[in-house]
Amino acid sequence: MITPFQVFASHLDYNTLGSILQGGGSINFSEILKNEYTLVSVLGTKQGSELIRYRNNKLGRDMVVRKLKSAANIEVYRRLSDISNQNLVQIFDVVPQQDITYILEEYIQGISLSQLVPMKQQGVQQVIVQLAKALYVLHSLGIVHRDVKEDNVILTENGIVKLTDFDISKIYTQGKSRDTVLLGTAAYAPPEQFGLAQTDSRSDIYALGILANKLVTGQHPSVKLYTKGRLGRFIVKATNISPDKRFGSAGEVLSHFG
């Protein structure tokens, strides 16, 4: 079985690679990319990060490399590299190198949910349940995603929903009154994400409710609110302006859908 390490550095023995990944190796990681991989495409760029698809020249396998200029949320990626869940993009490793940190991720064959709007009610419900499972794992690690939206969700050809992009995710800090940095997509962000209080798991549930409404109606709930059936009841409760009146956890969301 080929490990993620072998996929990305098949020309190195494990001990040498381990030294590099701990930041103590003398080999420049950018040189490894240049010499051993082919740049397939740039998947996206935004302030502070770049997402690139590379192909291993020997194995013919693809992997995504996220280049981060800021170390603000490296701990988020480190925690994610220790777990594996089918509804979360797999983080293979975190490689700090001077001014850039490389995040090694799986390449997912699929399409963004943004290409599927609007969807039928049954399909939306299946998506929301899978995302709730992803959030359940994230929140158990103390991570708040803070940017749950269709652009950050990929549907694979096998029908698996995967949550991606943890660039503005944060570690929840008990007792903190508000977030230090105000980030997120305005249309999906709850009131507390604008500095009124610290974001927590209920903030992600709010965004999940906004996403569900957008998927089923094609519009933000402030324009057209979906209220029919179990999905509608979820949307109304999840998007309540008060965090205390929302679902208290991803586990409660899963219980709601049975």
Sorted by where each starts, the structural domains of the chain and their CATH numbers stand as 4-106 (3.30.200.20), 110-257 (1.10.510.10)
Q: Quick check: 57 pLDDT over 50?
A: yes
Q: Greater confidence, 96 or 13?
A: 96
The per-residue pLDDT of the chain, averaged, comes to 86
Closest by Cα among 155, 185, 151, 188 to 168: 185
Position 184 scores a pLDDT of 56
- Give 29's pLDDT tier (boundaries 50, 70, 90): confident
- Determine the average pLDDT of the residues in 126-151: 97
Instruction: Give me the sheet containing 49-56, strands edge to edge.
Output: 37-46, 49-56, 62-68, 100-106, 91-97
Residues serving a catalytic function are: 157
- Determine the average pLDDT of the residues in 210-231: 97
Q: How far apart are CA 215 and CA 113, in angstroms?
A: 8
164-199, pLDDT tens digit by residue?
999 999 998 775 545 445 455 888 888 777 655 678
Position 12 scores a pLDDT of 41
List the single range of 24-33, 58-67, 119-128, 228-237 with lowest mean pLDDT: 24-33
